[in-house]
Structure 1
């Protein structure tokens, strides 16, 4: 049986108190020198339906951003997936604070 193991990010950056991920696509066109990697501009952001609570790992829709998990939640809808432009507009309105500035780095 094949498995993937990775470390869980305990203090993730949050949008409106919810976890998110950025789905980006790239093509490695050449691994010889020079290495050529092409990035597709259109990417999207998947947001969780429930607020993030690190103490409650049983709440799948707070911890997993997969659409196959989120689509069953009553709050899943148009605002569950953002474009890169939407994320950039949000970040322009809500600048991130570094932890050393007294912020939690959570982005609101």
Structure 2
């Protein structure tokens, strides 16, 4: 075992192995199981394969499309707020004084978190 740990070829893989195992157990396996379950109908521990019917029902649901729209609006509003705060930030990449930056921000009516 000691010879394996000090091997220049195997040692890097052994150090990365805990991360890979953790990634597989807590990320890849749940995603894979969820994908398989999306093609099944689950009732009280019984699973029966129904194919794409779950996806057909989801795409035909009005509430699903409302949730997609709400998520899209939220994403756009968060993006625009981060863009505005970055634009008005006194620590931007262009060299200007804090007084100039604060005047610019107050003129554009956006708040800088810095």
TM-score of Structure 1 vs Structure 2, range by shorter chain: under 0.3
Return the structure number with greater relative CO, CA threshold 8 A, min gap 6. 1
- TM score, norm. by length of structure 2: 0.22
Greater fraction strand: 1
- The structure with more radius of gyration: 2
Greater fraction helix: 2
- TM score, norm. by length of structure 1: 0.23
